[in-house]
Structure formats: C-alpha cells, structure tokens
Amino acid sequence: MKYLNSKSSLSGLRKAPLLPVAIVIAGGIAGGLLATLFLPTSDAPELVTAEAKTEMSEQAPEAEAPAKAAEEPATEVSVAAYAVPTTETLQEMTKTVSVAKGDTLMKVLTRAGADRTESYEAITALTELFDPRDLKIGQDITLHFDSNDTGEETTEPTPTLVRVSLNEDVDRQLAVVRTPEAGFTAQETIIELDKKLVRTGGVIQNSLFLSAAQAGIPTKTIVDLIRIFSYDVDFQREIQPGDSFEVYFERFTDENGRVLKEGAIHWASMTLSGKEISVFRFKTADDGFTDYYDAKGRSVKKTLMRTPINGARLTSGFGNRKHPTLGYTKKHLGVDFGARSGTPIMAAGNGVVEMAGRNGGYGNYVRIRHNSEFKTAYAHMRKFAKGVRKGSRVKQGQIIGYVGTTGRSTGPHLHYEVHRNGRKINPLSVKLPAGRKLGGKMLAAFRKHSEAISSDVASAPLEKQLAELDQ
C-alpha cells in the first residue's frame, strides 16, 4: 500500500480549488467580450447607475406606465373581454323584410324577429293610417330594434321593437314609433311632388290596351281609360283598326324630374268609326263626388258595365250554340270572354254578393244583386278576390275574382250573365239606365269647367311616346 506525503497532499488540496475559479472568471470575461461584439446592441442589457435611473424617472414619468404594463404577466390580459362589433351585429338592429304571397303584417313582423305582443301593438297603432289588408307582394317593411342592453351578462339579448316603417306610395311614408309614455304612435310623412298634365294618344292597330301600351301609357292609366269608356263602348265589337284615342292625365315627378307616379285622367276621347266620344272629370259641389261626364253633362256611369273584364275577346255570344263539352245544341244564356288565366274580373255594378262558391258546371261562381231589377253572374273563376263572400258589398269596377277554367269548361274564360227580373238576357244588347244628368247651376259650372279643360288640351303638345316610370 502506498501512502501520500501529508504535507504535499494538503498543499495540493489548497491549490486545487483555485484552478476552476480562474477558469470560470476567464470564461466570463471572454463571454462578455464575445456578446458585446456579436449580439445586437438593442438586445444587450444596459448598465445604468442608480443616479441615472433617478434622473430618467424625473425627466420622463409618462414612460413609466407602459414599462410597468409591459412587466405585467400576459395571463392577466383577456382578449375575449371585449369584442369589436361586426357589421353583421350592427345590421341586426334594423331589418327589412319583403311581403311574400299569403303574408299578413303579423307574419312579416314576427318572421323578422319581433315579439308577437309588440307586433300586435304596432299593427293596432298603424291601422289609424293604413289598412294592413292593403299590403302588396314585394312591398318592403323595415323594423328597428333596441338591443335592451342592461349591463348584465345574458346568453342572448332580447331585442325590443321600437319602430316599423313602410312606403304606402312614392309620396306617402308611414311609421309607428314606440314612445315611453304612450306605447306605439302612428306617423305620416307626405313628400311634395311636382304635378303636371300630359296629353298623349295614338291609333288603334289591334286593341286599345296594346296600342296604348305601345305609346308608353302606364298600365294603371290604360285600365282607368277602359273603365271610363266601358259603360258606352263594347270593346269586343265596336273597336276597329284605325280608330284613335287621346288621354290627358296627371304625372308626378320629383325635384330631379323623374316620373314617379300617375294620377287621375282629366279628359279622354275616343274616335270610333269617325264618331268622337269625349269625357271630362268633374266634381259636383252638392255631394262632393267626382265622376266623368260627356259633353252634355251626363254621367258616363250606367247601372251596369257592358264588359266586366279588360283585354278579353268575345268567344261565344248569347243564344243557341253547339255546346263545346256536351256536344249538342243548347241555348247559351250569357256571353263568354276568352282571357288569360288570372285576368281580373270586375263587378259590373254596385251591389250585394248573393252567392260566392262552387256551383256545378259553372265552377267557381259569383252572383251579385244590384237592385230589385238586375243581377249579374260570373262563372268558371280560378279563384275569388279577397273579401268576396255571401253578403259582402261590392262597388262597380271592384275586382271580385280571376279568370279560370273551373267547372264545365274547355279553357280559361269568363262566362258572364245579366238577370233582369229573374230572366237571363243578352248582356251586350240590354238598355241600361243612365247615371246622373247635370242641370241648372251645376250644368253651368260643368260647362265652364269643360271649356277650360278643352282649352288646356288644345294647347298641350300631343306626345306619341311617353317616358317610363322611374322604378
């Protein structure tokens, strides 16, 4: 066994720890030099004295807050605590819904997310200015909601209906607005439009409707024109190619001159086989009613209209004929007007609906009692107009149904009958009682009015092609 010298061993033990210490010190110095040389200056730690720190804090106290914020732990910042509102979230406060076929106003509002009770309150207020049954397919209804933000955390905020608005016409805007005291209140805004009278006309080549449409006359004005003359003119037999027409009516424009709507016809004329028929719009002072009168002051209205349908053709007259479905000769106790399925059918006169329903070979059938003497009947309808039922009252020219081919029928058409004292007579040859005939002071006022209109018409240029409505 070999033993070490105790002195030399002790000396070795004393010297041994110094070597690692020296190596560490030398390595630290070398590492510092390398870091200074090769690392970016911005990443290198700054050596700042206590005096320098104090001076910096005195000169720039505002920089201290961001520095402290930077020292805060990242786990204390919650990104989900605040969400920037998206466009979709903001748009949910206002919704615009279009009226679809079969919609009621209640359906429209609830479909847009309104509460049923709030919808009922809004509709009740709106009925002061508007009949909800007058909604049109495609009409836009705008709803405004309040998010009901109470500051409390809820799974889903409950929107509150605060406003409903719609355009009843291009110049009439309606709204119901929620108020803290009175609930929903109705508001009406009338937009001022410029009115002017225009004169247009043309020569009939095929039918009055098509010829007027080719001249740029709007459908509403054409329908009004046909209704005015339908009391005296048989559009199926009296219209010939080469006949002519003129109409003098209202047009409304905005401040930019865009045509937005049509108004009433003030004067109209038709020349049939060389004979001119002119009518004037006139309001009688004694009863306040506005009607159309011929040049002699006689109302154009009769007890019944000869043709209760527009744009149709006479396909079968009154009398004996070979029945198209039964195959044998049978008396035809009415007249048939062929027309496209869905064409509107009008009440020939004021009266009360005696029957509206299915009636054997007549299919969908309506019969109207006009007075103690006259009744009219309409058969093979596709469907009935809204509100037409037994006991309901109708006005002359009101739509009561639509052309169809129900019952014993070979194609879409209207079968039209006139009953006089219980007996069916020819609608095209019956002599109908005339309407009001002006006299005395009323006739004098009418003549003065008609002369002024005639002068205005004569000075107005005849436009062959009208500008279309701005849609």
Report helix, strand or coil for 329: strand
Q: If you average pLDDT over residues 269-282, what whole number do you get?
A: 93
Residue at 410: amino acid letter: T
Chain-centroid distance, C-alpha 179: 26
**Structural domains of the chain, ranges and CATH numbers in brackets:** 93-190 (3.10.450.350), 194-302 (3.10.450.350), 313-425 (2.70.70.10)
Q: What is the pLDDT of residues 131-163, one digit of tens each?
A: 888 899 999 999 999 875 545 555 566 688 999
Give 321's contacts (C-beta < 8 A, 6+ positions apart).
329, 330, 331, 332
Give 215's contacts (C-beta < 8 A, 6+ positions apart).
200, 201, 202, 464, 465, 466
- Give the percent of the chain with pLDDT over 70: 74
Which pTM was predicted?
A: 0.54
Q: What is the pLDDT of residue 362?
A: 93
Of 147, 144, 171, 177, the closest CA to residue 159 belongs to 147
Q: What is the pLDDT of residue 325?
A: 58
Chain-centroid distance, C-alpha 107: 15
pLDDT beyond 90 at 31? no
CA distance 200 to 268: 10
| DSSP category for residue 46 | P
Chain-centroid distance, C-alpha 466: 25
pLDDT beyond 90 at 11? no
Q: What is the pLDDT of residues 376-430, one digit of tens each?
A: 999 999 999 999 999 999 988 899 999 999 998 888 999 999 999 999 998 888 7
Residue at 4: amino acid letter: L
Q: If you average pLDDT over residues 100-116, what whole number do you get?
A: 91
Average pLDDT taken over every residue of the chain: 79
Least confident window among 103-107, 151-155, 197-201, 242-246: 151-155
CA distance 301 to 347: 13
Say if CB 252 and CB 263 are below 8 A apart: yes
Report helix, strand or coil for 128: coil
Helices marked H in 183-244 — which ranges?
208-214, 219-229
Q: What is the pLDDT of residue 123?
A: 94
Of 455, 199, 439, 409, the closest CA to residue 316 belongs to 409
Q: What is the pLDDT of residue 8?
A: 41
Give 213's contacts (C-beta < 8 A, 6+ positions apart).
219, 222
pLDDT beyond 60 at 90? no
**pLDDT confidence band for 29 (50 / 70 / 90):** low
